[in-house]
Amino acid sequence: MPDHRTVRGFIIGRLPFSNTSLILRTLTREAGRLTFLAKGATRPKSPFAGMIDLFYLADFLYAPSRSGEMHTLREVKLVEAHLGLRRSYASLIGAQYFAALIETITESGAPVPDDYELFAKALAYLCDTDITWRAVDRFEQRVLELHGIAQANRDLPRAFHALHHKVPSLRADLLRQLAPTPPRD
């Protein structure tokens, strides 16, 4: 029987897998980005029912994969649901963009404590406050600083282009949501 591990993290993505299972992408402090297979998660009497939704903070008990990056999820204990995100569509898209940005710039399985803390602060902020251009800019600049690619007068798209990274497409959707307020130059 494989050893089991527990880690606390945010659910930053979920995809259907078969008729009753889900693939969860998570961001954790200690283990970085992890992918879990939640078998039977969509069944009516599943122990995962109500425990796995986007941006939930939870404790995950899982069996590590012997090969590959998809681990088997055994148990979930919900810590924080971040329901304040659901009050504003723009804030929800902002949270999705922030998660996509971190996924783009980090490697799977590598500890990312600073990215985790930044994301946690961003979610707490978005639960209480409507997202603004300034908040998006500050988050992007902080991500660039954390990864050593920040430069004066260089925005995220230019920095990513220079590194041959693709800017998450959610950025354009978010900017359309914030269109009444022009971005800072």
Number of residues written out for the chain: 185
Q: What is the pLDDT of residue 166?
A: 80
Q: What is the pLDDT of residues 14-58, one digit of tens each?
A: 999 999 999 999 999 999 999 999 999 999 899 998 899 999 999
pLDDT of residue 99: 96
Give the residue numbers spanning the domain of 142. 83-177
Q: Does some domain include residue 183?
A: no
Calculate what percentage of the chain has a pLDDT beyond 70. 92
Task: Specify if 185 maps to a domain.
Answer: no
Phi-psi sector, 84: left (phi>0), alpha (psi -120 to 50), beta? alpha
3-state secondary structure 48-109: CCCCCCCCCEEEEEEECCCCCCEEEEEEEEEEECCHHHHHCHHHHHHHHHHHHHHHHHCCEC
Buried b (16+ CB within 10 A) or exposed e, 163-178: eebebbebbeebeebb
Same domain, 31 and 115: no
Q: Which of 80, 105, 134 is the C-terminal boundary of a domain?
A: 80
Q: Identify the DSSP state of 180.
A: T
The structural domain count of the chain equals 2
What is the mean predicted confidence (pLDDT) over 60-84?
93
- Among 32, 48, 80, give the residue marking a domain's end: 80
Domain final residue, candidates 80, 100, 135: 80
The band of 180, judged by pLDDT with boundaries at 50, 70 and 90, is low
Cα–Cα distance measured from residue 166 to residue 152, given in angstroms and rounded to the nearest whole number: 20
Q: Is residue 110 part of a domain?
A: yes
